[in-house]
Amino acid sequence: MDKLEKFFEEKMAPFFGKLARIPFLIGLRNGMMATVPITIIGSIFLVMQQLPIGAWQRIIAPFHDMLEVPNMMTMGIIALYTAYSLGYYIAEAYEMDSFTGGLLSFAGFMMLQIDKDFSISTAGFGSKGIFTAIIVAIFSVFVLRICVKKSLYIKFPDTVPPAVSQSFAAIVPGAIIITVLFLTKAVFGIDIQATINAIFAPLVFGLNTLPGIVVFMFVAKVLWCFGIHGMSVMNAVGMPIFLTYLAANNEAYLAGEAIPYITAQGFVQCFVSHGGAGATLGLAILMLLSKEKGFKTFGKLTIVPAICNINEPIIFGYPIVMNPMMMIPFIVSDLVLTISTYLLMYFNIIGRPVLNMLWILPTPISSFLAAGNDIRAAIWSICGIFISVVIYYPFFKIEEKNRLKLECGGELDD
């Protein structure tokens, strides 16, 4: 174990640390995260519309169809928000004017939403356009960077207000971006959106499979064990895909069709990581019930944050980081719950994620709402919490026993 820790500290940790600091990945991660509040707001209105309470349904009957509009204008056009958000944050990560990056990315994305008769097509505004938005944002910021480095922009004297000079500085890169994308789509007739979706298809397929999501979760949890925010690193790649899944599920849910994706955004948050990464709510419960005073006190301090899925105090305060004994249940809990939840959704025993929820909601509530008011999902989340307690129990008891021995002046067990 010492050799493994040394290898990770000297080789792997610096690598993943550098990876997490790459401007492009920072911009991609931040840009995708910035769209999450929009999806949550739209989901709240859909929850209001679909809440299975007779009295409530009678109250909202005159406004029933109207309550779909906020969801349509948020989740339904998620690619539009993504195009601007990614351009904004990728430009910011490269220390360029963020608004210009977002604006040019949005304009470039819109140039690809043209029908054969040159009218605007809205088909790519939702889940089908997310990957196009990603590629266009990357391309737009790349062109902007080249123009800035080569001084290919309209310059004004220093006496001109910055707002004016910055707006005119966007003309040359904007003209290049719009011209290239317009020629590609309208003149040469190349369906860039279909091409991009075809390129991403293997990755989209892979993360919706059981082996794919298990590998994703395993790497994320191992990184956590060595003090690196695993989901932050992995979501640079995973978040665009999980949000694409969720948008597609949301569209199918509203249309009354079969829900296509299992591992959509909310799968981990609402069904797997009870109390945060590693399903540490189970550990918080064990500490709260502990006979050892230190654990009991720490349990009282961490149980409420854990219920709200805040577990950094446990990960770094217990600690789980660099603790070989507790790394095992930390990783195993999430993997067991990932596999079991996936299978339950695969066989349609519980509902799949169709709505995005606030991450601080207790998982029995968030899973119920995320799965479209599915009581089976809430019951499974409660079962998942008990499963995490069972997995942590033998490892926690060993540490509790050792601490009780120390209190009594005894020696630690090997």
pLDDT at 12: 63
pLDDT at 342: 98
Going from N- to C-terminal start, the domains of the chain cover: 2-205, 208-407
pLDDT at 168: 82
pLDDT at 270: 94
To the nearest whole number, what is the mean pLDDT of the chain?
A: 88
Q: Tell me: pLDDT of 161 over 60.
A: yes
Q: Tell me: pLDDT of 162 over 80.
A: no
Which of 19-33, 153-167, 289-303 is predicted least confidently?
A: 153-167
pLDDT at 11: 64
How confident is residue 7, by pLDDT bands cut at 50, 70 and 90? low
How confident is residue 16, by pLDDT bands cut at 50, 70 and 90? low
pLDDT at 391: 96
How confident is residue 175, by pLDDT bands cut at 50, 70 and 90? very high
Q: Dihedrals φ, ψ of 209, to 5°? A: -100, 160
Which of 2-16, 36-50, 75-89, 132-146 is predicted least confidently?
A: 2-16
pLDDT at 94: 92
Q: Tell me: pLDDT of 101 over 60.
A: yes
pLDDT at 4: 58
Which of 78-92, 271-285, 381-395, 396-410 is predicted least confidently?
A: 396-410
Which of 18-22, 135-139, 202-206, 216-220 is predicted least confidently?
A: 18-22
Q: Which residue has the higher pLDDT, 52 or 210?
A: 210
Q: Tell me: pLDDT of 176 over 80.
A: yes
pLDDT at 46: 87
Q: Tell me: pLDDT of 410 over 70.
A: no
pLDDT at 6: 65
pLDDT in tens, 282-329: 999 999 999 888 999 999 999 999 999 988 899 988 889 888 889 999
The whole-model pTM stands at 0.83
Find the mean pLDDT for residues 144-156: 85
Percent of the chain predicted with pLDDT > 70:
93
pLDDT in tens, 317-356: 888 988 888 999 999 999 999 999 999 999 999 999 999 9
How confident is residue 407, by pLDDT bands cut at 50, 70 and 90? confident
Q: Tell me: pLDDT of 413 over 60.
A: no
Q: CB of 250 within 8 A of CB of 47?
A: no
Find the mean pLDDT for residues 157-175: 80
pLDDT at 269: 93
Q: Tell me: pLDDT of 203 over 60.
A: yes
Query: 95 — alpha (psi -120 to 50), left (phi > 0) or beta?
Result: left
